[in-house]
Chains A and B, each alone.
Chain A
Amino acid sequence: MQSFTTASAAWGRRIACVACLLIAFILTMGSSTTAEAKMNIQEVTSPGGIKAWLVESRQVPLIAMRFAFAGGAVHDADGKEGIAHFVSGMLDEGAGDLKSVDFQERQEELAARMSFEAGRDMFTGNFQTLTRNANEATELLHLALTKPRFDAGAVDRVKKQILTGLKFDQNDPRRVASKEWFKLAFKGHPYARPVKGTMSSVATIKREDLSDFVSKVFTRDTLKVAVVGDIDAKTLGPMLDKVFGDLPTSSKLRTIAEAKPPAGPQRKVIEMNVPQSVAVFGHGGFKRKDKDFVSSYVLNYILGGGGFNSRLTEEVREKRGLAYSVYSYLSPYRHAAIYAGNVATENKSMTRSLEVIEDELERMADKGPSAEELKNAKQYLTGSYPLRFDTSSKIASQLMWIQIEDLGIDYIDTRNSKIEAVTLQDIRRVAKRLLKADGLIVTIVGKHKGVANKPKKG
């Protein structure tokens, strides 16, 4: 929350956008472990029937918990987009008898940390407490989830903050490019709507909308919980009942249709007076359960997901100096999947950058990667796996996502062998199936004088 420390902050050479990190996260979530990194995951069922995965880790006197409900921005009522996100900002604004300031002071006294995030499909929570304060801190979490107050003053304040944030976002070329991309790719589907809503939709959201979302989404039937840290199964059981036991047993979620981005090419330029343009490019992808998902994940690492080891960075940044940041990712949602990417470059270089990107997609679709590239990718993806398990919160996150994606409690032990099993043949076939250089949906935000407003082909 230190916005203005940037002036004195250091500058990293590497970049990794937030989206990238999230995606990397989902995709590498289960990523396995080396033989040495075995961890003991216990499946705990509380006396009241709440299930959680637990990894005991006693070295640091804290407990990290991550949990998720199946229901996110896709379930926002029509015309009231942004409800889920609004709720995520309201849960520490007062609950039970504690008004917002009291709640937050209490939280600070206990040094408890809680945050919530509304995604398109999921609503997730992140909670940490010192072991010694676990009783009181989990009581606060229980209140936040079951008795949020939604006091008028707090609702107004948070609404104002969201609107201010949206106002800033309107001038942020990255956000505008991404928002416009989803509009084009998912026209008519809830995925087309921005998770944070719009200025006009957020303005109409009322207290009842927030409570309604909570009662529909915060339910035991879709709950997934992961706990890591200084606690054993016996202690965890009653704690789960205390936090989640009061929630309704079943959710009331509307059915969401499956969606698929239309075939491109499509290109939209949004004029903004900035020296550097930002483009989002992409098309449909594979869902997590697709038989080719793992191959496509390895493929994306080689093409645009692997930072300095990816072809896009090599061609756009390292060879040509066109951009500081260029990458691609796979996002498998519940009801759709995309392959997309992002590049930022001075206005006059955007045409060239997009050409280079399209050429790389085409080259990969035609010929696939080399045996060497595949080998290198496997070495990184399998070898770096333990890096995702070196803090309690990171472990908890991995365990939560494995549950959400229903990959199985042994996934951590089998994931590397799935990656090892990808052959050059697989990946060539999958490259052809996935990549459509002439079918990209592209949104460009910047000054478009000098930016050719046409796709290369089509």
Chain B
Amino acid sequence: MILEQILSPSIWRTGLFAFCAIAAAMTLSLPSDSALAASAVSHFKLKNGMEVVVIPDHRAPVVTHMVWYRVGAADEKRGVSGIAHFLEHLMFKGTKKIAPGEFSKIVARNGGEDNAFTGQDATSYFQRVAKDRLPLVMEMEADRMVNLRLLEKDVLTERKVILEERRSRVENDPSNILSEQMTAALYQSHPYGTPILGWEHEMRILDRKAATDFYERYYAPNNAILVVAGDVTANEVKKLAHETYGKLKPRIERVRAARPKEPPHRAPIRINLEDPRAGRATVQRSYLAPSYTSAEPGEAEALDLMVKILASGSTSQIYKRLVVEQKKAASAGGWFSGSGLDSGSLGVYAVASDGVDIADVEEALDKALADFIEKGATQKDLDRARNSYIASHIYGGDNQVRLARRYGWGLVNGRTIADIEGWPARLEKVTLEDIKRVAKKYFDPAQSVTGVLRPVEKKNVDAKKAGHEDRKS
């Protein structure tokens, strides 16, 4: 099976950015890795309101230290899109104690690795270090939570960097341009429609003041969650947390405002993008769906299993039909993204086989969907899908970073430890009727955006040239 390559430039593009790939994986069913750690996890609050989660894992003398803020791109004011992500970059620019750019260098000098990312609902910073360096990174992270100091020149240089980042991730890759357009269309009012990186024209005018405003509004211990996984005990972390984060004063009223709600969608939306760089014609369709946080009890679990059966991997119905049997698609699949605070999304896609009209592929995809909605899945399908998720727990338990992320991501999105740890048990309750019901309910054309990406060869002399050279070689 060669799915990875096919899944188009977009997966490789994210593959190019190691942490982003992790983040993408995170948008899959959220709480799956908790089983092993369940009994050992501690959860408590500091007096200033900061939440703390400790996940012991004593196999290697290392720890993963993460701070999650309950703020993301969807909390930006209109017109300053990208500020949450920009601030995340600027958090490495120093404090009174730490010179610009030194943060990561200090971590590295201590044999550690650090990183950060921004999502629609969360912003997170993390370090992986030997366990005896935990006090150091806790002190540094606590320091920049309230003492960030930004120099005008650093802000302007970093703004060029985020514009290059946007060129790498979006402008150089038509499938990501399409995704961005589709997401913007899927959310007519809710800010999830605005890209995390920001719209380019708005990124160009982001400045020190916008970053500082956002920072002062949202970065505070009472809006943060500390997750420490690794070779530590809850008591050790508690003591260190009191000595570092515990000394910070809470800022008043850090709770983010409710976001605008989506109006009812009345009609399907289509987006056609022609781009000579597109490779092969691709069709994808996104549907509005609930997230784990916003769903009726059990629905998100059913959606996860439903999509696994219908569209995930080479054993899925869509793949077997479009790729194996009909041979109309070189690749086909789908996803359920249920980790958002306010909404999730559901989708399917197919990449046309050479010489097959993308309209035919879309028709076949529609037919497969319609049949699935009508007939549903078999018990064997359901058991296999469930089994596969439950196994992914156990595999996930091998990786402390994944465990830490699981808890941080869940808590920051309003889930409880019990929610996170109860996921496998809730999967067990999903029935074939549930699968059929959520498929029918959420594959609703009126709630959908269909995107078609077509390569337009003749307009692009350059792409042809590259192709020609390749054939010669």
In A11-56, the 8 Å CB interface with B consists of 11-18, 21, 34, 36-37
Select one of B18, B62, B400 contacting A21, CB under 8 A.
B18
Bound: A128/B313 CA distance, A: 18
Distance in angstroms from B212 CB to nearest chain A CB is 18
A324 to B165, CA, bound (A): 5
Contacts of A169 in B (CB 8 A): 5
- Whether A171 contacts B278 in the complex (CB less than 8 A), given A323-B164, A392-B398, comes out as yes
What is the CB-to-nearest-CB distance from A359 to chain B, in angstroms, rounded to a whole number?
18
List 6 interface pairs A-B (beta carbons < 8 Å), by A numbering: A10-B20, A10-B118, A17-B17, A18-B12, A89-B2, A113-B395
Q: Which bracket fits the contact residues of B?
A: 35 or more
Partner pick for B11 among A3, A105, A325, A379, CB 8 A cutoff:
A3
Mask, A385-400, CB within 8 Å of B = 1, is 1110111110000000
Given the known interface contacts A165-B2, A387-B113, the answer about A8 and B340 at a Cβ–Cβ threshold of 8 Å is yes
- Contact residues in B for A384 (Cβ distance below 8 Å): 108, 111-113
Question: Scoring A residues 158 to 202 as 1 if CB is less than 8 Å from chain B, else 0, what string do you get?
Answer: 101111111111111111100000010000000001101011100
B144 contacts chain A at the CB level, 8 A cutoff: no
CA distance A395 to B158 in the complex (A): 37
* B32 interface residue (CB < 8 Å to A): no
A11, A170, A271: most-surrounded residue (chain B CB, <10 A): A11
Please tell me the number of chain A residues within 8 Å of chain B, measured between CB atoms: 107
- Chain A residues within 8 Å of B349, by CB: 3-4
CB distance A168 to B8 under 8 Å? yes
In contact, B384 and A161 (Cβ under 8 angstroms): no
B375 interface contact, C-beta 8 A: no
A56-92 contact mask (Cβ, 8 Å, vs B): 1 or 0: 0101111010000000000000000000000001001
> Which residues of B86-145 are within 8 A (CB) of A?
88-89, 92, 101, 104-105, 108-120, 122, 124, 128-130
Contacts A13-B89, A15-B16, A158-B1 hold; do A167 and B279 have CB atoms under 8 A apart? yes
- Closest B residue, CB atoms, query A163: B354
Q: Of B6, B312, B340, which is within 8 A of A161 by CB?
A: B6
Contact of B118 among A11, A60, A104 (CB under 8 A): A11
The CA-CA distance from A164 to B282 in the complex, in Å, is 11
B61 at the binding interface (Cβ < 8 Å): yes
Q: Which residues of B contact A1 (CB under 8 A)?
A: 3-4, 7, 11, 312-313, 333
Compute how far the CA of A389 lies from the CA of B286 in the bound complex, rounded to whole angstroms.
39
Q: Complex formed: what's the CA distance from A157 to B14 in Å?
A: 25
Could you tell me the distance between the alpha carbons of A274 and B167 in the complex, rounded to whole angstroms? 9
A10 interface neighbour in B13, B119, B192, Cβ under 8 Å: B119
Q: A17-B16, A200-B471 in contact; A168/B279 too (CB < 8 A)?
A: yes
- Known pairs A12-B115, A306-B108; A386 contacts B7 (CB<8 A): no
Partner of B462, one of A60, A165, A175, A273: A273
Which A residues contact B (CB, under 8 angstroms)? 1-18, 21, 34, 36-37, 57, 59-62, 64, 89, 92-93, 100-101, 104-105, 108-109, 111, 113, 128, 130, 153, 156-158, 160-176, 183, 193-194, 196, 198-200, 270-276, 306-309, 314, 317-325, 344-346, 376, 379-380, 382-387, 389-393
With A60-B397, A384-B111, A390-B59 known to touch, is A161 a contact of B330 (CB < 8 Å)?
A: yes
Pick from B115, B122, B315, B470: contact of A13, CB below 8 A. B115
A309-B349 Cα distance, complex, nearest whole Å: 40
> Chain A interface: which of B21-29, B240-248, B364-372?
B21-29
Mark each residue of chain B from 141 to 178: 1 if its CB lies under 8 Å from any CB of chain A, else 0. 00000000000000011111111110111011111100
Output the least CB separation between B41 and chain A (Å): 15
Question: Which of B22, B168, B197, B345 gathers the greatest number of chain A CB atoms within 10 Å?
Answer: B168
Chain B residues near A161 (CB-CB < 8 A): 2-3, 5-6, 330-331
Check: B44 CB closer than 8 A to any chain A CB. no
Chain B residues numbered 378-406 whose CB sits less than 8 Å from any CB in chain A:
384, 387-388, 390-392, 394-395, 397-400
Do residues B61 and A36 form an inter-chain contact, with CB atoms below 8 A?
A: yes
* Pair A162/B2 contact, Cβ less than 8 Å: yes
- Given A13-B115, A161-B2; A4-B23 close (CB under 8 Å): no
